[in-house]
A = this chain, B = another copy of it.
C-alpha cells in the first residue's frame, strides 16, 4: 500500500489520514480475540481506570502476544509511514487502549510528541501515531477527536495532569484549544472525529492535538495505538520504563500482507513475563550513558 500525492498533501494539511476498513473482519478478529487474556493479566503493563478494574491502557502487546507481534510488522501499517518519512522506522510505543463500555474515561486534549520530547528526549517530530480500531467506532463510544492542522503549531505549551484520570498526561491549556479549534473552522470542521468499522486505521502526526470523551455506551471501543519512530530519530533518554518507551531501535522488518492470517514465525520475547530490565529507568541522557559505557 503506497500513499498517493493527494494523500501526502492531505496529511501535510490536516495532520491525519483515515483508512476505513483497512483490515478485514477476519484479520481484525485475530487481534480482538487476544485482548481479554492480555487485559486479565496483573502486570505493570496494564493501567486500569481510576476507581475501576477496567483496563485503560495496555503496553507492549507486540512483545507479549503473537497476534500483536504480527500487527507490529504489518506492511499495510508500516509501509505508508516509511513513505511519509522516507526512512525505516522502529516501534517506539505500543498501546491497546480500552475505552471500555460504560467505564472508559476521557483522554484530555494533548499532543504525543510533547511527552516524547520532554520525557524520552526524542530529537524531532519524525514519529507517527497509528490508531487501529478493534471495535466499531461511532459517536457514542468515545471516538478520537482531532483539531485539523494543529500539528503545524509544533510543540505547544502543556501542563502535567496527574489527577484527572489514572494516567499522567501533558495536557494543553483550554484557551489554546479554543484558539486552535477556531482557526481550524470553529463549529464548521474545527474538530473532526473519524468513525468507522473495526479494522479501520488512522495515521496521525505526533504533534496533532487530540482527545476523546468518555464512553457511556454499551459498546467497547478498544483501539491499538502504535508509535513508529524514524530510526535516526530514536530516543536519547530512558526516563520511562522500557515497556512504555522502547529501546530497541532495530528497523521493523515487515511480514507478508497476509501475516495476520498465516502462521509466519514471529518473535514474542516477553510472552512469559517482562524481564527486570523492562522496569529499569534512568534520568541520564543516552549520550552520557554511552560515554560511561
Known pairs A101-B174, A178-B101; A139 contacts B193 (CB<8 A): yes
The size of the chain A interface, using a CB distance under 8 A, is 27
Q: How many copies does the complex hold?
A: 2
Is A177 touching B214 in the complex (CB atoms < 8 A)?
no
B residues near A193, Cβ cutoff 8 Å: 139-140
CA distance A141 to B102 in the complex (A): 18
- Shortest beta-carbon distance from A155 to chain B in Å: 21
Judge whether A177 and B140 touch: CB under 8 Å. no
Does more than half of chain A's interface fall in helix, strand or loop, or is it mixed? loop
List A residues at the B interface (Cβ < 8 Å): 101-102, 106, 108-109, 136, 138-140, 142, 145, 174, 177-178, 181-182, 187, 191, 193, 211-214, 216-219
Can you list 18 A-B pairs with a CB-CB distance of less than 8 A?
A: A101-B174, A102-B177, A106-B214, A106-B216, A109-B216, A136-B187, A139-B139, A140-B191, A140-B193, A145-B216, A174-B218, A181-B217, A181-B218, A182-B218, A191-B217, A211-B216, A213-B214, A213-B216
